[in-house]
Amino acid sequence: MKAALNKIDLNLLKVLHVLIEEQNVTHAAERLFLAQPSVSRKLRKLREQLDDELFVSTPQGMKPTYRCNQIAESLPDLIALLEKTLTPVKKFDAYSHAGHISLAINPLLGQSLPHILFLFLAKHAPNVTFSCHIWNQNTLDNLAKDNIQLGINYDVPIGSKAILHKHLAEDHFKLYANKSHPIHLKKIVEFEYLSECRFAIAQLAEWNEKEGMMENMLVQRGLNYNEVFRSEIISNVAAVAAQTEALFPTSELYIDNTHNLVEVSHARLPSFNSKQILLYQHKKRESDPFYLWLHENIVQLVDGLG
C-alpha cells in the first residue's frame, strides 16, 4: 500500500537518505548527531509509513530492499529541491558566524548534551567558542545581565522581564537501580511499592531544593517517601544507587555510562509527572538569526538523546 504524502514525516526522509548512504545505523547516527536508538526508532517509523522493510540484515550488513533502491534513485534530488525551495533567500550562514556562547545547564541534563552541542558547533559554526556551567542560584541574574547567553533547565520562576524561554522537549523521567535490585523482579511497579523503597536524589538549584518530583508524587497520594541520600554532585548519587538499594529518579536524557545502573522500563512504571525542558535566553535575542538557528538545532540534538 502506497503511503499518502500527508502521512510522511519529511524529516524522516533526511534520515533515510543518510541510512541509504551509510547502510549502517551507527554510522548514520554519528552523521546525524543522534543517538543510535533514536535512529533505530526513526527507521521503524519509516518502515511503517512506507510499508516496506527498506533494509534487511545480511552477513555483510544492512542491504536495501528493491523498494528502497527505487526511493534512493530520486531521494537525493528530492531533498535538494525541498531544501532549495524552502530555504529563505537570505539564509543565515552559521559557518561564518563568530562569537561566544556561555551555557548554564541543569546538571542532570548536562551529563550528555553539552559535549554533543560543542561537537555540533565545531562542525557547523567553527568560529563560535563555547563554555558550559552548572545552573545555580545566580544563573537567572546572569542571563538577565547577558553574562550568560543560554540556560537549559526545567520550568523555574523567572521574575525578570529581560528573560524569555522556549520549549525544547518534554521529560517523562525514569528510574535507575543497581543490577540486583528487587524492583527488576516486579512485572508492574506501583506507587505503593515505591513508597517502600529508598531514594538517592540529585539536588538541582532552583528546582527541587525544597521538594522533589518523587517526593511530591508519593506525598500527594498519602504514601511514605524515604530519601536516604541527596547531592548536587550527580556522580555521587549514581554511585550510591549502584552500591545500595536506593533508587535514582532522573531525566530521560541522563545516561549512566560508568556505574552499571539498569534502567527500569517505562512500561513497568506508573505514570510520572512530565516536565518541560526549556531554553532560557535574553529577550534581545528573540529574533537573532543565530539564536533562532541554534534553538532549532538544540531541539534536534535533545530529540536525538531521548
| pLDDT value of residue 306 | 63
pLDDT band at residue 2 under the 50/70/90 scheme: very low
Q: How many domains does the chain have?
A: 3
Q: Under a CB-based contact definition with an 8 Å cutoff, are residues 261 and 238 in contact?
A: yes
- 10 Å CB burial of residue 250 (0-12, 13-18, 19+) is buried
Which of 63, 86, 109 is the last residue in one of the domains?
86
Based on the fold, state whether residues 163 and 297 are members of the same structural domain. Answer: yes
pLDDT band at residue 211 under the 50/70/90 scheme: confident
Based on the fold, state whether residues 122 and 159 are members of the same structural domain. Answer: yes
Cβ neighbours, 10 Å, residue 105:
20
Based on the fold, state whether residues 205 and 244 are members of the same structural domain. Answer: yes
Q: Under a CB-based contact definition with an 8 Å cutoff, are residues 109 and 103 in contact?
A: no
Give percent above pLDDT 90 in the chain.
Answer: 58
- 10 Å CB burial of residue 231 (0-12, 13-18, 19+) is middle
Question: What domain range is 13 assigned to?
Answer: 5-86
Based on the fold, state whether residues 265 and 292 are members of the same structural domain. Answer: no
Based on the fold, state whether residues 237 and 191 are members of the same structural domain. Answer: yes
- The structure's pTM equals 0.68
Based on the fold, state whether residues 187 and 42 are members of the same structural domain. Answer: no
| pLDDT value of residue 279 | 96
Based on the fold, state whether residues 105 and 77 are members of the same structural domain. Answer: no
Based on the fold, state whether residues 179 and 225 are members of the same structural domain. Answer: yes
| pLDDT value of residue 229 | 97
Three-state SS across the chain?
CCCCHHHCCHHHHHHHHHHHHHCCHHHHHHHHCCCHHHHHHHHHHHHHHHCCCCEEEECCEEEECHHHHHHHHHHHHHHHHHHHHHCCCCCCCHHHCCEEEEEEECCCHHHCHHHHHHHHHHHHCCCEEEEEEECCCCHHHHHHCCCCCEEEEECCCCCCCCEEEEEEEEECCEEEECCCCHHHHCCCCCHHHHCCCEEEEECCCCCCCCCCHHHHHHHHCCCCCEEEEEECCHHHHHHHHHHCCEEEEECCCCCCCCCCCEEECHHHCCCCCCEEEEEEEEHHHCCCHHHHHHHHHHHHHHHHHC
Give the residue from 172, 274, 243, 171 showing the smallest Cα distance to 229.
243
Distance between CA atoms of residues 4 and 48, nearest Å: 12
**Looking at residue 39, which CATH number applies to its domain?**
1.10.10.10
**Looking at residue 144, which CATH number applies to its domain?**
3.40.190.10
Based on the fold, state whether residues 152 and 226 are members of the same structural domain. Answer: no
Q: What is the pLDDT of residues 159-203, one digit of tens each?
A: 888 999 999 999 988 999 999 999 999 999 999 999 999 999 999
Which of 86, 113, 147 is the last residue in one of the domains?
86
Residue 221 has pLDDT above 50, yes or no: yes
| pLDDT value of residue 90 | 61
Based on the fold, state whether residues 39 and 116 are members of the same structural domain. Answer: no
Based on the fold, state whether residues 75 and 113 are members of the same structural domain. Answer: no
Distance between CA atoms of residues 95 and 88, nearest Å: 16
Based on the fold, state whether residues 33 and 103 are members of the same structural domain. Answer: no
- Residue the block writes with cell 529518579: 249
Pairing of strands 275-282, 150-154: antiparallel
Which of 55, 86, 117 is the last residue in one of the domains?
86
